[in-house]
Amino acid sequence: MQALQQFRALSASLLLAAFAGSAFAQVPADARPAGPPEPHGRLLLVLPFENRSGAANLDWIGEAFPDVLNRRLNAAGFLTISRGDRLYAFDHLGLPLNLQPTRATAIRIAQTLDADYVIFGHYTTTANQITADAEILDVSDLHIGAPISQNGDQGQLLETLNSLAWQVTRQLDPTYAVGEQTFLAADKNLHADAFEDYIQGLVAADPKEGSDHLREAVKIDPDFAAAWLALGRAYFANQDYDQAAATLGHLPRNDPNALEADFYRGLALFYTGNYREAQNAFAFVSTRLPLPEVVNNQGVAMSRRGQDGGALFQQAITADPRDPDYHFNLAVALAHRKDTDGALKELDQVLELRPEDTEAQSFAEQLKNPGAQAPNPDPGHAITDTQGPLERIKRGYSEAGFRQAAFEMDQVEQMRLASLKPAQRAAELIQNGDQFFQRGLVLEAEREYREALEADRSSALAHAGLAAVWERDGDADAARQEAHASIQLTPNVPAWLVLARLDLQANQLGAAASDVGDALRIDPANANARGMKLALERRGQTTP
What confidence tens digit (pLDDT) does each residue in 518-536 have? 999 999 999 999 999 998 9
Final residue in a domain of this structure, among 170, 188, 206: 188
- Number of structural domains (the chain) is 3
Final residue in a domain of this structure, among 128, 162, 188: 188
Residue 195 lies in a domain: yes
pLDDT band at 105 (very low <50, low <70, confident <90, very high): confident
- The set of residues, in sequence order, having a beta carbon less than 8 Å from that of 495 and lying 6+ positions away, is 460, 463, 464, 467, 482, 483, 484, 486, 487
Residue 62 lies in a domain: yes
Based on the fold, state whether residues 62 and 184 are members of the same structural domain.
Answer: yes
Based on the fold, state whether residues 348 and 211 are members of the same structural domain.
Answer: no
What is the domain extent for residue 269? 189-273
Distances, alpha carbon 328 to alpha carbons 367, 371, 377, 484, in Å: 13, 20, 13, 62
- Please state, for a pLDDT cut of 70, what percent of the chain lies above it: 87
Assess contact for 18 and 405: CB atoms under 8 A: yes
Based on the fold, state whether residues 175 and 256 are members of the same structural domain.
Answer: no
Return the bridge partners of 80, or none: 44
- CATH number, position 86: 3.40.50.10070
Based on the fold, state whether residues 282 and 397 are members of the same structural domain.
Answer: yes
Final residue in a domain of this structure, among 257, 273, 289: 273
Encode 240-255 in three state secondary structure.
Answer: CHHHHHHHHCCCCCCC
The dihedral sign for the CA sequence 498, 500, 505, 506: positive
- The set of residues, in sequence order, having a beta carbon less than 8 Å from that of 405 and lying 6+ positions away, is 10, 15, 18, 289, 291
Residue 421 lies in a domain: no
Encode 208-230 in three state secondary structure.
Answer: HHHHHHHHHHHHHCCCCHHHHHH
Based on the fold, state whether residues 177 and 258 are members of the same structural domain.
Answer: no
Residue 79 lies in a domain: yes
Residue 490 lies in a domain: no
pLDDT band at 38 (very low <50, low <70, confident <90, very high): very low
Least Cα distance to 318 among 12, 7, 18, 24 occurs for 18
Residue 149 lies in a domain: yes
Based on the fold, state whether residues 126 and 79 are members of the same structural domain.
Answer: yes
45/534 Cα distance (integer angstroms): 51
168/162 Cα distance (integer angstroms): 10
| Tens of pLDDT, residues 42-64 | 889 999 999 999 899 999 999 99
464/362 Cα distance (integer angstroms): 65
Based on the fold, state whether residues 155 and 133 are members of the same structural domain.
Answer: yes
- Please state, for a pLDDT cut of 90, what percent of the chain lies above it: 61
Residue 503 lies in a domain: no
Based on the fold, state whether residues 182 and 53 are members of the same structural domain.
Answer: yes
Give the relative orientation of helices 258-271 and 241-248 as an angle to the nearest 10 degrees.
Answer: 150
Based on the fold, state whether residues 91 and 183 are members of the same structural domain.
Answer: yes
Residue 137 lies in a domain: yes
Based on the fold, state whether residues 93 and 196 are members of the same structural domain.
Answer: no
Based on the fold, state whether residues 267 and 283 are members of the same structural domain.
Answer: no
Based on the fold, state whether residues 137 and 95 are members of the same structural domain.
Answer: yes
- CATH number, position 285: 1.25.40.10
Provide the pLDDT for residue 409. Answer: 67
